[in-house]
Structure 1
């Protein structure tokens, strides 16, 4: 949550790294855009593509702080788990 609300300085203090602070600002920019306009994009470094079940697209905030829109890398495994936990018809 500190990254979402860009409160990492208050949460981590002296342990906060510049990379973590940059990632928090990036994530918070998407959140702010969404809160203001209903769209997370707008002057952000990478376009956040809307999710649909067909594209299963998500935004990944990499360890280096850069945002990358990409298909969910866990989709196949999650679909398998979901299928195996569905009641038998």
Structure 2
């Protein structure tokens, strides 16, 4: 059933600490799957949705991953104001990329533009998204959480 599938998908080796598993499951249920759900509904209406996952962490922060809303200074290109003298070149580069995607989308209705990795609109049958990674670069790639989100979605549909 779902629980065996979930255990294999989240913790195939059986060595992930429970707090980490709880965190991952919570993130997927409260953040990642709802974002994908919205992208699916927008796509169902014949509109374009651009799904992303922001995983960049400012170099001055000692955190394992990006926290909720931490992408905002990158979207608005205000990382220098947020982090001050500890802002790195990589932080600024990550902000330039995200800010260009946002301004392109506002002006053109698409995030794409010269010098940026191509970001295609969401498609049900091609679960790709734009990943802003820990190195401060953007990649358009298959969603690495796809299997986990499918389990989350199936569980939500049973409620």
* TM-based fold match above 0.5: yes
Instruction: Give the CA deviation at 1:20.
Output: 0.6
Deviates more, 1:43-52 or 1:32-41: 43-52
- Contact 1:57–1:72 at 8 Å: present in 2 too? yes
In the TM superposition, what whole-angstrom CA distance separates every residue of 1:58-81 from its partner, at most 9, and x where no partner exists? Answer: 111122222110011101101111
1:44 aligned partner: 115
Distance 2:112 2:75 in 1: 15
Pick one of 54, 57, 60 that aligns with 2:131: 60
Q: CA-atom RMSD, angstroms?
A: 1.3
| Higher relative contact order structure (alpha carbons within 8 Å, sequence separation ≥ 6) | 2
Instruction: Give the CA deviation at 1:86.
Output: 1.8
Pick one of 13, 17, 26 that aligns with 2:88: 17
Pick one of 46, 57, 70 that aligns with 2:141: 70
Unaligned runs of 5+ in 1: none
Number of residue pairs matched? 88
- Contact 1:29–1:44 at 8 Å: present in 2 too? no
Unaligned runs of 5+ in 2: 1-71
Deviates more, 1:15-24 or 1:59-68: 59-68
